[in-house]
A and B are shown apart, each in its own frame.
Chain A
Amino acid sequence: MARLKLPLAEYVRTYGPHVSDTPVHGWAHKPPVERLVKTHCCFCGMQCGIQLQVANNQVVGFEPWEEFPFNEGRLCPKGVKRYLQSHHPDRLTAPLIRTETSFREASWDEALDLVVSRVREIQAARGKDAFAMMSGVSLSNEKSYLVGKFARLALNTANLDYNGRFCMVSAGAGNKKAFGIDRAANSWADLPEAELIFIAGSNVSECFPTLMHYIWQARDRGARIIVVDPRITPIGRTADLHLAVRPGTDSALNQAILREVIVNGWVDEAFVRERCTGWSELVASVAACTPDWAAAITGVPADQIRRAARMWGEARTSFLLHARGVEQHTKGVDNVLSLINLVLATGRIGRKGCGYGTITGQGNGQGGREHGHKCDQLPGNRDIENPVHRAHICKVWGITDDELPHKGKTAVEIFEAIHGGEITGLINICCNPMVSHPDTNYARAALERLPFLCVIDFFMSETARYADVVLPGSLQEEEEGTTTTAEGRVVRIRAAVSPPGEARTDTWILLELARRLGRGDKLSYADNQEIFNELRRASAGGTADYTGITWDRVEREMGVFWPCPTEGHPGTPRLFEDQRSYHADGAFHLYATPYRPSAEVPDAEYPIYMTSGRSVFHYLSGTQTRRIKFLVDMAPGPQCEMHPSSAARLGLVDRQLVTIETRRGALTIPLTVVESIRPDTIFVPYHWPETLAANQLTLRALDPVSKMPEFKVAACRVRAATADEARHARARFAELRIEPDGDTAPGRLGGAG
């Protein structure tokens, strides 16, 4: 049982997060730079090119990489400061094993053998699937592929899933339904060519700052911008039309826009007749979706809906972008499909300046979701239940069909199965559910009753505190490999330095575990390039076909867009140029998306909408960025954005500590009064853990297709914090800014065992 033995403050004191903003040699004495390593930023799906300055096997600074075509040297503040993580004093530098009081350092042999013996014990007692694995897509393509193979062959479990389930799976599911392929349809180069840019549920300015340059380029050429968001974000501020939609009502808005497009004759009739299926059913499904009907649901005035429809309908070229704002719902797939319907109804796809895409959030959110990381998927974005797909992978891996597990549980279902006692062991890499799981109190209860947890991470994440064994792994800049950016471009990640102390590369850890689990025959590689070359063979013939992509080509061509079926193939920056989808029938599939309410909507008891999202200064669960002082100074902790009219009604003032309550939990944080949010909605960023976690408030309701939780809508109430709550919150906020000192090196806690 992995209940925490010490107060949380003790874990922070020993393992961090500590905030540090000091380069490894201090600000005053920068050593001469020995080499510049051309690689990519680890902090979002843009994967901006960056050069890391290296001296003495340490990253000592950065230099913009102006030749890399996507970002030409541009970076966001996370990218600028990312170099500070590799030598951060919080780095885990030795394996740790839980003791009666906390953790003790252990040898690799002892730690790995303990993991292996627990895997064997649990699987012997309760079956193979009682041991699960959770992963994440900040991992490279090579590591993502390896995790998929490791879980299926070495753990031999069906229960492998990943943190994309908390991120963008609704987009992937919607794309597969409509297009038969899960990738942005265009490279970003088509953005400046479009005369209308429609952005639904994406705070591009904070989540993907370097993509802004492409949108500004379009605007400089005369493009107009529509932004759909409950908040006026920096991109919303500049939009020609900002639709402040009520959280959870996107599909109703999009249905009404589609109806207006149809009624006004803005449909590409030839395209929907010849290239699409389901058009007449779709038309019938929106017949009653008038702007007035949608206005009542969405809170967007009917004339704004008509104006959006006219702008969309009359445009000759367009690029539609969406992100988590429409995807993280119990009808996320429907929301995505309702947007795709707008694109297909006007036939504006597969041509210059005619684009569509989800903006993937995680570092390798694109590549990591293609090669067998998901519970229902095999490499090349194959279906684990499709006999032909299984046969191909069995051949590549040299196994028989009965050795390959079938579809397993999704992320939230894994935690539910831990609660229920069905899953009793878990290896967790690159995932921090104590921040990112909906209803974090539920996730904590699951971890507390989980008999065995192994965490592979480079820092002591809030999840790792609950582990029985913590294995110190590697950062992105410590292993060779590739990632695939949000536009489908495979790029090269370089090892700038080696992991510190006794930390090892993630690849070494997985392969060593596999060897000790008796699957060294199937999981043994000379180097990461050999893993990539096997991934290429495994992906061959799948939709995400990497066959023709080599590390050499990726470096020489500064990225190659998949699908790329042969080495002579130029890659595919723009999909659908032949006006054919990747479905067997070659058609684009339209689906009706009848509006239904969110799982929880405000009522008399909880009258306010709560929605959540990101800050520009933090990445995902904050394990990395909450340790970098510049970023922490700019955004030290969560705050509650509220409209002045609501604040006045509730008698609350700017900077006051308030308590937000939902049916799951309560969160006490400072109030920020801003006019840039709907009066019926509050916003809280989600990057913080434990009692500062926004996800204490969210619910575990899932999209029936994608199994994505509804992070974007909850019903809440807000009141002034009590004196006790305020005292507790101030103490937690103070803990977010503790700087390291000589006594707080990792591994110092509880050596007595």
Chain B
Amino acid sequence: MTGPFLEFTVDPQRCIGCKACEAACAECDTHRGTPMIHIDFVEPGVSPQTTPTVCMHCENPTCASVCPADAIKVDEHGIVHSSLKPRCIACNNCELACPFGVPKISIGLGQMQKCDMCFDRTSVGKRPMCATVCPTGALFYGTAEALHARRPQGEAINLWRFGVQEIRTRVRVMVPAGVEILEVDVAEIVDDDAPAAEPVVTPARPREFL
């Protein structure tokens, strides 16, 4: 790792669903008014458990691999950026392919926008807005040592397997000690025989009543 950039870790067990991160993300000078992080209920109606999703900044990003216009770039700090405006054709491939569901095509801008780990802040030594305001420490930005001192019983890992695809991410996620990889068997979630796939998570936004 080079430069002032530190570790970013998501600790979902600490999330209380308050959305201070969403509120603060929208204050960023580069995408003012639009949050790039989102909070989901894990089992709506059953549990109040929520979890934040930021861009995981993959080592070998799927979004960039599937981009036909070569518009998505990883910088020397391992940060995956929004699409390059002159190249992006807003084709939606990145949105469909990302296993974490992060990139979003902005119709108005005609390009893909996503979390860039608050590049304007982190590049000058500040912490990202979401991880600074997060009242519970569910979003952490700092050194690995500081994280370990805080969470001696957990482990921050960055290896995922989605079906046959293995992904290593720059952003880590806090898991119980002993877990080395997070496996998501897509077949378990999407049942081909069922009429429609059940979403794993539902946006924690108020739904319109009948």
- Shortest Cβ distance from A241 into chain B, in angstroms? 17
Do A80 and B23 have beta carbons less than 8 Å apart?
yes
The residues in B between 183 and 206 inclusive whose CB is less than 8 angstroms from any CB of A are: 205-206
Do A76 and B20 have beta carbons less than 8 Å apart?
yes
Given A206-B16, A206-B18, A656-B209, also A212-B32 (CB < 8 A): no
- A210, B136: Cα distance in complex, Å: 6
Given A28-B32, A234-B16, A235-B16, also A655-B209 (CB < 8 A): yes
- A356, B27: Cα distance in complex, Å: 37
Do A64 and B18 have beta carbons less than 8 Å apart?
no
Residue of B nearest to A672 (CB): B45
> Quick check: is B87 within 8 A (CB to CB) of the other chain?
no
> Quick check: is A451 within 8 A (CB to CB) of the other chain?
no
Provide the residues of chain A in CB contact with B78, threshold 8 Å. none
Do A675 and B47 have beta carbons less than 8 Å apart?
yes
The residues in A between 619 and 669 inclusive whose CB is less than 8 angstroms from any CB of B are: 630, 633-636, 639, 644, 654-657
Given A27-B32, A75-B133, A206-B18, also A676-B48 (CB < 8 A): yes
Do B206 and A635 have beta carbons less than 8 Å apart?
yes
Among A66, A213, A233, A234, contact of B132 (Cβ-Cβ < 8 Å): A66
> Quick check: is A237 within 8 A (CB to CB) of the other chain?
yes
- Shortest Cβ distance from A171 into chain B, in angstroms? 23
Query: Contact flags (1/0) for B83-127 with A, using CB distance below 8 Å?
Result: 000000000000000000000000000000000000000000001
> Quick check: is A361 within 8 A (CB to CB) of the other chain?
no
The residues in A between 47 and 92 inclusive whose CB is less than 8 angstroms from any CB of B are: 61-62, 64, 66, 71, 73-77, 79-81
Residue of B nearest to A670 (CB): B209
- A73, B150: Cα distance in complex, Å: 17
- Shortest Cβ distance from A739 into chain B, in angstroms? 14
> Quick check: is A592 within 8 A (CB to CB) of the other chain?
no
Residue of A nearest to B149 (CB): A220
> Quick check: is B169 within 8 A (CB to CB) of the other chain?
no
Do A673 and B45 have beta carbons less than 8 Å apart?
yes
Do A234 and B17 have beta carbons less than 8 Å apart?
yes
- A27, B48: Cα distance in complex, Å: 32
Provide the residues of chain B in CB contact with A76, threshold 8 Å. 18, 20, 135
Provide the residues of chain A in CB contact with B127, threshold 8 Å. 66, 73
Do B135 and A212 have beta carbons less than 8 Å apart?
yes
> Quick check: is A586 within 8 A (CB to CB) of the other chain?
no
Among B46, B133, B153, contact of A675 (Cβ-Cβ < 8 Å): B46
- A209, B209: Cα distance in complex, Å: 28
- A444, B16: Cα distance in complex, Å: 36
> Quick check: is A616 within 8 A (CB to CB) of the other chain?
yes
- A331, B62: Cα distance in complex, Å: 60
Residue of B nearest to A675 (CB): B46
Residue of A nearest to B45 (CB): A674
Instruction: Tell me which of B27, B50, B151, B209 has the highest count of chain A C-beta atoms within 10 A of its own C-beta.
Output: B209
Do A654 and B32 have beta carbons less than 8 Å apart?
no
Among B16, B24, B206, contact of A212 (Cβ-Cβ < 8 Å): B16
Do A630 and B136 have beta carbons less than 8 Å apart?
no
Given A635-B206, A673-B45, also A630-B132 (CB < 8 A): no
- Shortest Cβ distance from A740 into chain B, in angstroms? 16
> Quick check: is B33 within 8 A (CB to CB) of the other chain?
yes
Do A73 and B132 have beta carbons less than 8 Å apart?
yes
> Quick check: is B49 within 8 A (CB to CB) of the other chain?
yes
Provide the residues of chain B in CB contact with A61, threshold 8 Å. 27
Provide the residues of chain A in CB contact with B17, threshold 8 Å. 205, 234, 616
Provide the residues of chain B in CB contact with A75, threshold 8 Å. 20, 24, 133, 135
- A639, B152: Cα distance in complex, Å: 40
> Quick check: is A727 within 8 A (CB to CB) of the other chain?
no
- A280, B87: Cα distance in complex, Å: 81
Query: Contact flags (1/0) for B15-59 with A, using CB distance below 8 Å?
Result: 111111011101101001100000000000111111000000000
Among B23, B136, B210, contact of A657 (Cβ-Cβ < 8 Å): B210
Interface size, A (range): 35 or more
> Quick check: is B14 within 8 A (CB to CB) of the other chain?
yes
Provide the residues of chain B in CB contact with A66, threshold 8 Å. 127, 132
> Quick check: is A217 within 8 A (CB to CB) of the other chain?
yes
Do A237 and B48 have beta carbons less than 8 Å apart?
yes
- A21, B27: Cα distance in complex, Å: 11
Do A213 and B136 have beta carbons less than 8 Å apart?
yes
Do B205 and A216 have beta carbons less than 8 Å apart?
no
Do B137 and A213 have beta carbons less than 8 Å apart?
yes
> Quick check: is A505 within 8 A (CB to CB) of the other chain?
no
Do B48 and A209 have beta carbons less than 8 Å apart?
no
> Quick check: is B134 within 8 A (CB to CB) of the other chain?
yes
> Quick check: is B65 within 8 A (CB to CB) of the other chain?
no
> Quick check: is B13 within 8 A (CB to CB) of the other chain?
yes
Do B19 and A634 have beta carbons less than 8 Å apart?
yes
Provide the residues of chain A in CB contact with B14, threshold 8 Å. 212, 216
Given A30-B29, A205-B18, A220-B153, also A238-B13 (CB < 8 A): yes
Provide the residues of chain A in CB contact with B47, threshold 8 Å. 232, 237, 675-676
- A630, B18: Cα distance in complex, Å: 12
The residues in A between 488 and 507 inclusive whose CB is less than 8 angstroms from any CB of B are: none
- Shortest Cβ distance from A655 into chain B, in angstroms? 5
- A733, B209: Cα distance in complex, Å: 10
Provide the residues of chain B in CB contact with A657, threshold 8 Å. 209-210
Provide the residues of chain A in CB contact with B13, threshold 8 Å. 238
Instruction: Tell me which of A30, A237, A634 has the highest count of chain B C-beta atoms within 10 A of its own C-beta.
Output: A634
Do B49 and A237 have beta carbons less than 8 Å apart?
yes
Do A216 and B136 have beta carbons less than 8 Å apart?
yes
Do B137 and A209 have beta carbons less than 8 Å apart?
no
Among A30, A234, A235, A675, contact of B32 (Cβ-Cβ < 8 Å): A30
Do B48 and A232 have beta carbons less than 8 Å apart?
yes
- A75, B150: Cα distance in complex, Å: 19
- A623, B15: Cα distance in complex, Å: 28
Do A217 and B18 have beta carbons less than 8 Å apart?
no
Residue of B nearest to A46 (CB): B135
- A216, B136: Cα distance in complex, Å: 7
- Shortest Cβ distance from A682 into chain B, in angstroms? 15
- A217, B136: Cα distance in complex, Å: 9
Provide the residues of chain B in CB contact with A236, threshold 8 Å. 48
Given A76-B20, A77-B20, A209-B135, also A630-B26 (CB < 8 A): yes
- A233, B208: Cα distance in complex, Å: 23
Provide the residues of chain B in CB contact with A654, threshold 8 Å. 45
Among B18, B153, B205, B208, contact of A209 (Cβ-Cβ < 8 Å): B18
- Shortest Cβ distance from B153 into chain A, in angstroms? 7
Provide the residues of chain A in CB contact with B209, threshold 8 Å. 639, 655-657, 670, 733
Do A630 and B23 have beta carbons less than 8 Å apart?
yes
- 9 A–B contacts from the bound complex (CB under 8 Å): A64-B133, A74-B135, A209-B18, A209-B136, A234-B15, A634-B19, A635-B206, A674-B45, A733-B209
Instruction: Please give the residue numbers on chain B whose beta carbons come within 8 Å of chain A beta carbons, in ascending order.
Output: 13-20, 22-24, 26-27, 29, 32-33, 45-50, 127, 129, 132-137, 150-153, 205-210
Add 13 more A-B contacts to A77-B22, A212-B14, A657-B210 (CB < 8 A).
A61-B27, A64-B132, A66-B127, A75-B24, A75-B135, A76-B18, A209-B20, A233-B48, A234-B15, A616-B17, A616-B18, A617-B19, A676-B48
Top 8 A-B residue pairs of the complex, sorted by shortest distance between their CB atoms: A670-B209, A209-B135, A205-B16, A80-B23, A27-B33, A234-B16, A27-B32, A77-B23
